[in-house]
Structure 1
Amino acid sequence: MQGHLLGRVTLMKLNITRFAALEVVVFNRPTRVDSEQMMPLLRQLAAMNDINVVLNGPVRTMNRTRTEKEQLTELEWASELEKGSIYIAHSNWLDFEGFGYKKPIYVSLVRDPIDRMVTDFYKRRSWVKRAIFRRMYPGRRERPEEWYNLSFSECVRSGDPECRFVQYSVSDYIQDFKRQSLYFCGSEADCLPFNSHNAIQVAKRRVEKEYAVVGTLEETNITLTVFEKYIPRFFNHARFLYKLNSKSIRNRNRNNRKPQIDPDVKEMVRRNFTNEYEFYYFCKQRLYKQYLALQLENNLN
């Protein structure tokens, strides 16, 4: 049985890090995937593994897609980073090879699609965001108190435009980044329709062919194990450092408002995220395969 599994699940098949021609990691993190937990860890890894963490790229925008000019600017800039750099940005996948540049090591994270939306909903209503608004726009009229106190369940039940997730929609009532797959599909127009089957298939192919690891901090130990073993130059000692500082890392960027979502509301919303869930489960299954390949190899040695 073990030999049969190993025939399908092997490190050689699942570790595409060796195909990278640029000794640079591009970590294009989607919003609301708890990637903030990785920031202090990466800074510690920088000191231990002699790597360079780069947070600010040349394109400082949170737009859902990049124009071709923006893509070229980012591609050229990232290609000139020194060896051993890890570039972290909220940006979609970039086709380095398609534009004539060397291929870097791509990594990312995913999270349960509805949990992302709920987190985003309450993040926009946090006291931190409120304080930032007051500092940036002193004297400007704020949203009413009712908006800040609104629950996600009430928002969905009332049919509020903020909590409608319209299939194949391209324009949105608010810029909520509900398309987790968009970060992996790219900046083409076909990637934008929400919950699109075609966009999801492109995103899955990108993950399979372009990403060394796509993890999830819902499975922290598995994710860090795979990062460590598949990209040791950058992530060696990740599990040790995370365990050493796990309490401070988990408390980073925590929102004190802990919502309870009504089960029927969660199910209502879930029906609009069918393809997004397909993509999420695809990424998790691939991560588990990568982890299983490590266990099988260890058992054979």
Structure 2
Amino acid sequence: MELLHRLAYKNQFGFHRDAVQRVETIRLAPADQVALASLVSSYDPPASYIKHVCYTNFTRLGFPSPIYVNVVRDPVERVISWYYYVRAPWYYVERKRAFPDLPLPDPAWLKKDFETCVLSGDRECRYVEGQTHEGIGDHRRQTLFFCGHEPQCTPFNSVEALQRAKRVVEEQYAVVGVLEDMNSTLLALERYVPRFFQGALKLYWEEMNTFSRINRNAFKPPVSEEVKQIVRANFTREIEFYEFCKQRLHMQLRALRDPTITVPTPRSSRTRRAHKTPRLLV
């Protein structure tokens, strides 16, 4: 987000982000989907918009499709990071400043470490296949962000959510980067979405010390490989989706070097070619 913010000044496009919400909602009701599409479409192009939200089909709602990009992360490392992110003291300081009447969480919940949570069989860390629990800020299912708002997308680690997510990535996303391979991610963004990401790789490494400090959680202890493997056993389809995105990213980079390689062109990329002043949704 910070990189895109700086690129907005460099490449002269609008930078917009979702407002801080009392309750983060990832899956939207139909009326809220229309409101999101209307909001994004209202920004003078070229413009970018960032939000934690499931894939929203703008065309189906009667609005022009933006260029979609996203970044995935190793699903187990991601769920560990989220576990400690929502327990970090500064997270609740920011929340209380925005919403002073919010109650503080139970101290026992704040002090509960991830390894104990997994090994004790705590409900929060079971990750049961087919489970549809959607707690506040539930970020366990990376596929959910790509699958969409439909009920079929909600069961954890499901085959249908996986297949839908893969299809949406292939058909709708110009680039889905990989956090663990930032060089490849930024190179693909530069080459496939240059209007917004020109110079991203150079800027990232010039400002690496700044970017590496953002969202760093000093309250996140190490987690043993043994515990990670226990969790991985329940994340089989989430891991498959992550590997699918990695493979697609590498295929896109190979296609840049070898013109004989064909990579499906997302509809958002066709939209980019048709409109000189597009909108980007991240």
TM-score tier, shorter chain, comes to 0.7 to 0.9
Alignment of 1:87-166 (within 5 A): 87-132=49-94, 136=99, 142-144=105-107, 146-166=108-128
Relative contact order, higher structure (CA 8 A, sep 6+):
2
Residue pair 1:57, 1:74 contacting (<8 A) in 2 also: no
Give the CA deviation at 1:206: 0.2
Give the CA deviation at 1:138: 7.1
TM-score (norm 2): 0.85
Deviates more, 1:78-87 or 1:273-282: 78-87
Q: Which residue of 2 aligns with 1:262?
A: 224
Aligned residues: 258
Residue in structure 1 matching 2:252, options 282, 290, 299: 290
What letter corresponds to residue 74 of structure 1 in structure 2?
L
Alignment of 1:66-85 (within 5 A): 66-85=28-47
Residue pair 2:54, 2:147 contacting (<8 A) in 1 also: yes
Alpha-carbon spacing, 1:166–1:238, altered in 2? closer, same or farther (3 Å): same
Residue in structure 2 matching 1:232, options 172, 194, 201: 194
What percent of counterpart residues are identical? 40
TM-score (norm 1): 0.79
Structure 1: unaligned runs, 5 residues or longer: 1-38
SS in structure 2 of the partner of residue 218 of structure 1: coil
Q: Which residue of 2 aligns with 1:194?
A: 156
Indicate the structure (1 or 2) with the bigger Cα radius of gyration: 1
Residue pair 1:93, 1:186 contacting (<8 A) in 2 also: yes
What letter corresponds to residue 214 of structure 2 in structure 1?
R
1:142 & 1:62 partners in 2: Cα distance? Answer: 16
Residue pair 2:24, 2:136 contacting (<8 A) in 1 also: no
Residue pair 2:26, 2:52 contacting (<8 A) in 1 also: no
What letter corresponds to residue 143 of structure 1 in structure 2?
D
Alpha-carbon spacing, 1:142–1:208, altered in 2? closer, same or farther (3 Å): closer
* Aligned CA-pair RMSD: 2.2
Residue pair 1:169, 1:194 contacting (<8 A) in 2 also: yes
What letter corresponds to residue 242 of structure 2 in structure 1?
Y
Q: Which residue of 2 aligns with 1:62?
A: 24
Deviations 1:22-59 (A, max 9, x none): xxxxxxxxxxxxxxxxx222122111111111113799
2:94 & 2:66 partners in 1: Cα distance? Answer: 35
What letter corresponds to residue 86 of structure 1 in structure 2?
S
Alpha-carbon spacing, 1:87–1:134, altered in 2? closer, same or farther (3 Å): closer
Alpha-carbon spacing, 1:253–1:141, altered in 2? closer, same or farther (3 Å): closer
Residue pair 1:40, 1:249 contacting (<8 A) in 2 also: yes
What letter corresponds to residue 100 of structure 1 in structure 2?
G
Deviates more, 1:259-268 or 1:221-230: 259-268
